Amino acid sequence: MSNKKNKKHSLKIKIISWLKRNSVAIALAAWFTAMWSWTLFTDTLDLAGNKRQGLILAIIILAINVSLSVFVMLKMIALVNRIFKEYNVVISLLLAWPLFALADFLVAWVPAALWIGPQGRLDSILPLSTPTLLLINTPLAFSSRFIGFFGLGGFVWFTAYLIWNKRLRKYSLIPLAILTALSFVGWNIWKQPNGTTIKAAVVTETFIKKVPAINDPSLDLVIFPEYGLDDVTNKSINDRLVSSSGKPIYFIGSKQVNPSDKVGHYNRLMFGSTKTGITLEQDKYRLIPGGEDLPYILRTGLRATNQTSTLDYFSSAKGTLKGPKQLQMFDLPNGTKVASAVCSSIIAPEDYRNFANKGATIFTNSASLNIFKGSPLFAWQQKSFAKFMAISNSRYFLQSANSARAYVLDNNGKTLIESSGHKVLTQNVVNNNRKTLYTLTGEVLTYIGAVVLVVMLVKIIRKK
């Protein structure tokens, strides 16, 4: 009896010891798993009508994404540990924050590069597990006007690292003090937009049930959802938007275009007015891996297992063809420059920053989130991205959506109006020409982190 008790006690000690040794990896895995968990509930699970196959695929994708993310973070933590051993505390603190900002970027870029498909781009990222999405919903968000997206995420990783390390815990208030000061300054410098005001509307509807034709002569601009202008031509624009006063009302939205010579479809963003009709069309630039573009790895796996029916189903039902170049801004006569993107571009902070740097005064996004089946987690992530775009660049952000919530954020990230269902939400929107430091310089901390990483790797190689 005593031997059994001893064995149980010994096993318990071993388990506790293992948990302590791997506590950092376990905590990271738990975080990344939670942030990627929505992949288990998307309509990709219905690939070719085989839910079991789709679920297995989703679990594999989740496991790979989490493993890669944990690997990247552990390697960066090991490098930071080395720096704290080799250099004094001041230098180590100065180098650690940029390195963690770089780690946050790599966690977003590595999975995106792995899951790239025929219509993908190497400059695309998947920053769906960054702690920036947490911090952007706090008053510390205004520091992003200086340090950007990954600088904000790097702060969280850096502070968590200091708190976790008993020897360095006393320094954890230093980055918090810096971020608080930057937030206070960022809020005060760029809180007030300097442009004219227009009246805009965002639409929330579904593919099956659309809102009636909009007839509000006071409007200047209407944002329709992704695919909200399907089958709309210059002759039929009145089915969606009417100007009874004769005053031109401008519109933005997208439609599906099926080419005769290719498998798949284009997601075409369109701009025009009730007076001129459609004046500018451009095809979607960024695509969601697995949602709109099937990765090479999955294509290879499906072919190797003779599941060509699943591949054919995706290509014909979901496959989207990429546009040849980045989307352009739309100009309204009153000086308003609208930076519009379609759905998945909202996870590309650099796209919106470039728009603002080139003179965009308002941001919009035409989304369709039907693929996510109303996931509360992804809805929160998606809106957090919008808040970052608005706050970091000090621009109003307007989202119109299919099967999701439409909303308008002011340049400080405050929700002015929001709803779901079948509605047209109207709101006065203020243009802004002022550029934040982040708008002008980009992800400075990430750039610094990349330089530090290269220097450290060269030193390590030389020592070996």
Q: Could you write out the DSSP letters of every residue in 190-242?
A: HSS--S-EEEEEEEEE-SSS-PPPEE-TT-SEEEPPTTTTTT--TTTGGGTEE
Backbone angles phi, psi at 364, to 5 degrees: -140, 160
Q: pLDDT digit of tens for each residue in the chain (464 aa)?
A: 466 666 676 777 777 777 777 789 999 999 999 999 988 877 665 655 567 777 777 888 899 999 999 999 999 999 999 999 999 999 999 999 999 999 999 999 999 899 898 888 888 899 999 999 999 999 999 999 999 999 999 999 999 999 999 999 999 999 999 999 999 999 999 999 999 999 999 999 998 889 999 999 999 999 999 999 998 999 899 999 998 888 899 999 999 998 888 888 899 999 999 999 999 999 988 887 777 888 888 888 878 877 777 777 777 777 888 888 888 999 998 889 999 988 777 888 999 999 999 999 999 999 888 777 667 888 899 999 999 999 999 999 999 999 889 999 999 999 999 999 899 999 999 999 999 999 999 999 999 999 999 999 999 888 87
Backbone angles phi, psi at 275, to 5 degrees: -90, -45
- Check if the beta carbon of residue 119 is closer than 8 Å to that of residue 320: yes
Half-sphere exposure of 51 (CA within 13 A, CB side): 4
- pTM recorded for the entire structure: 0.92
Among 19, 6, 61, which Cα is nearest to 38's? 61
**Cα separation of 77 and 61, whole Å?**
24
Backbone angles phi, psi at 305, to 5 degrees: -105, 15
Residue type, 302: L
Please tell me whether residue 340 adopts helix, strand or coil conformation. strand
How far is the CA of 57 from the CAs of 60, 104, 264, 289, 329, in angstroms? 5, 25, 22, 13, 38
Backbone angles phi, psi at 358, to 5 degrees: -90, 5
- Partners of 199 in the β-ladder: 428
Rounded to 10 degrees, the C-alpha dihedral 71/74/76/82 comes to -140
What is the per-residue pLDDT for 260?
84
- 3-state secondary structure string across 120-151: CCCCCCCCCCCCHHHHCCCHHHHHHHHHHHHH
Which residues have C-beta within 8 Å of that of residue 18, sequence separation ≥ 6? none
**Cα separation of 344 and 364, whole Å?**
12
| Matching residue, tokens 């982190």 | 449
Query: Which letter does DSSP use for residue 224 in this model?
Result: P
Q: How many residues does the chain have?
A: 464
- Check if the beta carbon of residue 119 is closer than 8 Å to that of residue 321: yes
Where does residue 171 rank: exposed (0-12), middle (13-18), buried (19+ CB within 10 A)?
middle
**Cα separation of 104 and 332, whole Å?**
37
What is the per-residue pLDDT for 41?
78
- Check if the beta carbon of residue 221 is closer than 8 Å to that of residue 330: no
What is the per-residue pLDDT for 38?
86
**Cα separation of 342 and 209, whole Å?**
20
Backbone angles phi, psi at 98, to 5 degrees: -60, -35
42 CA to centre of own chain:
17
In the structure encoding, which two tokens stand for residue 314, read together? 């995706």
Which residues have C-beta within 8 Å of that of residue 235, sequence separation ≥ 6? none
- Check if the beta carbon of residue 227 is closer than 8 Å to that of residue 254: yes
**Cα separation of 262 and 264, whole Å?**
6
CA angle 309, 378, 120 (to 5 degrees): 50
What is the per-residue pLDDT for 89?
94
Residue type, 137: N
- Check if the beta carbon of residue 388 is closer than 8 Å to that of residue 349: yes
| Matching residue, tokens 């509930």 | 41
Instruction: Enumerate the H helices of 118-233 as residue ranges.
Output: 132-135, 144-164, 173-190
